[in-house]
Amino acid sequence: MDFSGKVVVVTGGTRGIGLAIVKKFLENNAKVILFGSRKDTVDKALSELEKLGYKAYGYFPDLSNYNEVESVFKEIYDKYKRIDVLINNAGISANKKIEDTTVEEFNNIMNLNVNAIFNTCKAVVSYMKDRGEGVILNTSSMVSIYGQPSGVGYPASKFAVNGITKSLAREFAPFNIRVNAVAPGIINTDMVKGLSKEMIEPLIKSIPLGRIGETSDVANAFLFLASPLASYITGVVLQVDGAARN
């Protein structure tokens, strides 16, 4: 899993699953550029990585603004002369019932979880085509397959992510650009760590493997799909959920 010489861009890379993905690729010798929502969160993540002995780079573009996204990708390409892997991990969730959800809240979810992926893919694909290869990976979710009892915007956006993944896989295949997604289940992020024992135990019982997933489990899936070991895999939504099927 040696990514020496490879340039990897990770959106939503400042914490949680995104930061775990960044660390995993740095461990495997990639040059990593992480995107965050604000300068302070980007600086904090870069500082944390530096303390661990890693050197990464960061930007904080508005992913819903195509012109801003295009400008940042051009700057990255002009600097490194290549972009090998794009990982679209930025996103927001929702859990309100539909009657409590404003139109603005729904639109915000779609902007970051769907429109941003369109923007980054559109901005990066010409650079990958020029090199004759590339990998695009999107973060989906188990709710993209099963839905959820409230917060309709989140599963709707992740269903869309799966559609983007499968469609672009077919569109980009002639250019040797693979497109896949990873659909995590219940993962041990800060949000899950903050749940009470009474809430955690039923969650664990619902997972056949008998444990909550770790961010490293998800990061390993991204690393595999980006590697030559997955050279004949495209258009796949890989579930990383311990067989938790609902």
In terms of DSSP bridges, do strands 177-184 and 31-35 run parallel, antiparallel, or are they unpaired? unpaired
Residues 159 and 117 sit within 8 Å (Cβ to Cβ): no
Number of Cβ within a 10 Å radius of residue 36: 25
Give yes or no: 154 in active site: yes
Residue 44 neighbours by CB under 8 Å, 6+ apart: 14
Q: How far is CA 116 from the centre of its chain?
A: 11
Which strand (E) or helix (H) includes residue 237? Answer: strand 237-240
Cα separation, 78 vs 103, whole angstroms: 39
* CA dihedral over 219, 224, 225, 226, signed as positive or negative: positive
Structure tokens at 210: 């008998």
* CA dihedral over 56, 58, 64, 67, signed as positive or negative: negative
Residues 241 and 206 sit within 8 Å (Cβ to Cβ): no
User: With DSSP H G I counted as helix, E B as strand and the rest as coil, what are the percentages for the chain, rounded to 5?
Assistant: 50, 15, 35
Active-site hit among 59, 146, 154, 232: 154
What is the residue whose two structure tokens read 């990976």? 137
- Could you list the active site residues? 154
